[in-house]
Amino acid sequence: MTTSEIRAAFLRYFERQGHLAIPSASLVPFEDDPSVLLTIAGMQPLKSYFLGAASPPAPRMTSSQKCFRTNDIDQVGHTARHLTFFEMLGNFSIGDYFKDDAIRFGWEVSTEVFGLDPERIWITIFEGMPGVPADEEAFERWVALGVPPERIQRLGDPDNFWKAGPTGPCGPNTELYLDRGEAFGPPGGPASGSDRYLEYWNLVFMQYDRGPDGSLSGLPAKNIDTGAGLERLAAILQDVPSVFDTDAFRPLIAWAEGASGRAYGRDARDDRALRVLADHGRAMTFLAADGVRPGNEGRDYILRRIVRRAVSEAGHLGLEPEAVAGLAAPVVEGWGDAYPELRERAAEVRDVIGAEAEQFARTLSQGRRLLAEVIERSAGGRVRGEDAFRLHDTYGFPLDLTLEAAGDAGLEVDAEGFERLMREQRERSRAGAGAGADGVADGAAALAREAAPTEFVGWDATTADTRVTAAAELGDGTALVKLERSPFYAEGGGQVSDVGEIAGSEGRARVIDAFRLGDDQVLRVRLQEGALPVGAEVTATVDAARRRQTQANHTATHVLNWALRETLGAGVRQAGSYVGPDKLRFDFTHRGRVPAETLERIERMVNERVDQDRPVGWRIMGREDAAEAGAIGLFEEKYGERVRVVDTGGFSKELCGGTHVSRTGEIGPFAIVSEGSTGAGARRIEALTGTAALAYLRERERELQAELAARDERIRQLQAELKRAKSARTDVGSLAGDAVEAGGVRALVAQVEAADMDELLAISDRLKQSLGDTAAVVLGAASDGKALVVANLAPGAVAAGLKAGAIIREVAPIVGGGGGGKDAMARAGGRDPSRLPEALDAARAILTADRGS
């Protein structure tokens, strides 16, 4: 059964039992449930019904609920079973049926709907604790359904007592396990903890409410809450070793394989990365579709963390950070039918993930540079906890990357020091959220008053010889510094602050931020060598490449503003902007969306102005004169009597305090990436220039090509399937004629063409059917350089004394492999297809041997 079929069969069964199928609630819990950040179980959206605080739409409900659990986030990838996001199938009764029916439904679904072998099902029940008796009713019920008492085991709290959180609805539960056979671990039942037994369904008898003091009181009614992890069920029913091998996950793994050129199942480290991409890719798509946005707190931070982890693992596979946004496509494809919100918000999801990945990529590359410095500085010793912490805190650089790089250089990391600083920071942020950043801004304002205003010389220059006029340590390894003259642009008018370096004979520091205080400014620096006391002569140097990109984006913003007014009318007013080295964003007043053709025209107009390579200049003038000269801009807001007017190529004049390129040609290619609503009554355009624009266009082209290639591949697969189906059918007819009668069975041994084990099995099934009740079929096939062998026996052949498992155990070693199975069916794979004929001869000898019957 495919994952979708399992989901549908489950819901359909419970609908037939009078349940209302309710759609999955959002991953973001209702506002009145502050107990969790994200939905963790199917019962969660129904909590108020269990508590009797609201009345349910129906007393019997069933759902497939989107869930997210963070407790194992760091395990994901390392194992073949941990997931963050998963789907939970459940059936619920609010004061309607209770234990008897819940257990009966669980049994019927397991054995009839899913066709699980009753002999392989194990049960656990609650053994009791002070105040709550052992669950003898559940025991009796299971025994009445035919489960032998020795396959029912008792466990205590927490295994068999379920609670959604420290307080709230809870109760004893009974769990269903599947025995996967001796290959997976020792016997002893689920209570032994052996991996051989896989839990697949939890039935909770929700009858208590736990108070804040830990006491249990009865709920208004006795309820049922069950949960079955869909992914795990799929792995069981598809008989594959892990959730990542199920039909639902294969396309995600395949996407990551295709993008990276690495194959799953070859290398443990690659596998970890591929699994992280599959799980996190799915999780981030669902989270973003439910409106979660990457950030620093709560569920926003969860999203940020998984995007970042995916980016790191993508890096391991040699993929670009932005590539992780591509994972959204196979997720939408695979789950869009069951969860339509994915399709509706596909574009938005991509943007959210792409932007976060891109931002993290910048952080990472800055961090890498710093890391290289740290490693060099630490040569022969160990990396200080402070350095590891700074990398993490300022650059978002994960500790494992620092550990890895340090390890490569033969260095240790003071992990204890790192942890201590992390703890201290957590305490600080608990003591007063936000106080840190405000504190620095206050300090900057105080420092500004200590010396004459800084003269800003950065409109044309990116370097200046100057002097420190005031300085103050901040106690976190950074300091505030004021300069006499400064080439550093301090954030304002949408343009971000410059970063760079200050160096003199006494010391050297990295400039990480610049505060604008009216016409004055203060820099935040991180000291790297020596000291920068007041009076020190220094050279201040702006990070020129970053500045150049920022300037190109700033001038492009002016040209865009002009083109918008030309096409949409002079009513267009700037409502906000962001101008950074990475991109530009322009918010403007306009009704309704800008049609694609108009956007294209705007983009073309900007590129034409770029081509014309017009000069860009500026002048300071009286405000009235500026207005008269037709300059546009926020006259009322923040400018004094004298204003700065930037003239771009003679066609646009704008009030602006920012820095610009000197000719429009320096902008390079210009590309609009998106147009949408800001949510605040304005429209927003995001655009790229220069190499970023080229890279974007190239990526779009690659995607298009990948889509085309994927389509071709699908067609190819369909054709191959068609061919296989045809050839399989003809094979069966002629092959069946080769069967021989021997010792009361109709034996057929043959080598056939099959693409994989599934197909070989299917052919053997068809042959078995056409040969009747005494069929004994052994088939071999060579596929992908491997040997596949199947023994498939009809009941009459088993009665005649043949055992499929024994046959396979005998012949598998001949092809260099192993395998096994039951009496009726067994299969094996081997490394050596050239010895298939020999193996089949051996099988023939067994089938036709004298069995004395």
**What does the binding site for ligand SER look like in residue numbers (CB under 6 A)?**
41-43, 90, 162, 202, 204, 225-227
Name, in order, each residue with C-beta under 8 angstroms of 399's C-beta and a sequence gap of 6 or more: 388, 392, 413, 415, 418
Quick one: 176 or 828, whose CB is closer to ligand SER? 176
Q: How far is the CB of 225 from ligand SER (least distance, A)?
A: 5
Contact at 8 Å (CB) between 572 and 677?
Answer: no
Quick one: 40 or 747, whose CB is closer to ligand SER? 40
Nearest residue relative to ligand SER (C-beta): 227
Q: Hey, CA dihedral for 11, 15, 19, 23, is it positive or negative?
A: positive
What are the φ and ψ backbone dihedral angles of 127, each rounded to 5 degrees? -90, -5
Quick one: 14 or 162, whose CB is closer to ligand SER? 162
Contact at 8 Å (CB) between 191 and 142?
Answer: no
Q: How far is the CB of 46 from ligand SER (least distance, A)?
A: 10
Quick one: 170 or 523, whose CB is closer to ligand SER? 170
Contact at 8 Å (CB) between 203 and 173?
Answer: yes
* Longest CA span, the chain: 115
DSSP state letters, 155-172: E-TTTTEEESSSSEEEEE
| Partners of 671 in beta bridges | 688
Strand ranges in 444-592 using DSSP code E only, listed in sequence order: 455-456, 463-473, 478-483, 485-486, 500-504, 507-517, 520-530, 537-542, 574-579, 584-588
Q: To which residue do tokens 């930037």 refer?
A: 646
Q: How far is the CB of 234 from ligand SER (least distance, A)?
A: 17
Coil, helix or strand at residue 229:
strand
Quick one: 106 or 494, whose CB is closer to ligand SER? 106
Cβ neighbourhood burial of 701 (10 Å; 0-12, 13-18, 19+):
exposed
Q: How far is the CB of 274 from ligand SER (least distance, A)?
A: 28
Quick one: 243 or 342, whose CB is closer to ligand SER? 243
Q: How far is the CB of 476 from ligand SER (least distance, A)?
A: 42
Quick one: 225 or 387, whose CB is closer to ligand SER? 225
Q: How far is the CB of 65 from ligand SER (least distance, A)?
A: 9
Q: How far is the CB of 638 from ligand SER (least distance, A)?
A: 55
Q: How far is the CB of 705 from ligand SER (least distance, A)?
A: 43
Quick one: 41 or 749, whose CB is closer to ligand SER? 41
Quick one: 84 or 226, whose CB is closer to ligand SER? 226
Quick one: 98 or 459, whose CB is closer to ligand SER? 98
Coil, helix or strand at residue 276:
helix
Q: How far is the CB of 43 from ligand SER (least distance, A)?
A: 5
Quick one: 202 or 207, whose CB is closer to ligand SER? 202
Q: To which residue do tokens 């932007």 refer?
A: 355
Contact at 8 Å (CB) between 609 and 657?
Answer: no
**Chain centre to alpha carbon of residue 714:** 25
Q: How far is the CB of 381 from ligand SER (least distance, A)?
A: 49
Contact at 8 Å (CB) between 418 and 392?
Answer: yes
Contact at 8 Å (CB) between 271 and 78?
Answer: no
Q: Which of 700, 658, 653 is nearest to 552 (CA)?
A: 658
| Partners of 619 in beta bridges | 645
Quick one: 199 or 491, whose CB is closer to ligand SER? 199
| Tokens describing residue 208 | 């208590």
Q: Hey, CA dihedral for 210, 214, 215, 216, is it positive or negative?
A: positive
| Tokens describing residue 814 | 């001949």
**Chain centre to alpha carbon of residue 741:** 58
Q: How far is the CB of 211 from ligand SER (least distance, A)?
A: 19
| Tokens describing residue 447 | 């420092």
Q: How far is the CB of 42 from ligand SER (least distance, A)?
A: 5
Type of residue numbered 238? Q
The full length of the chain comes to 853
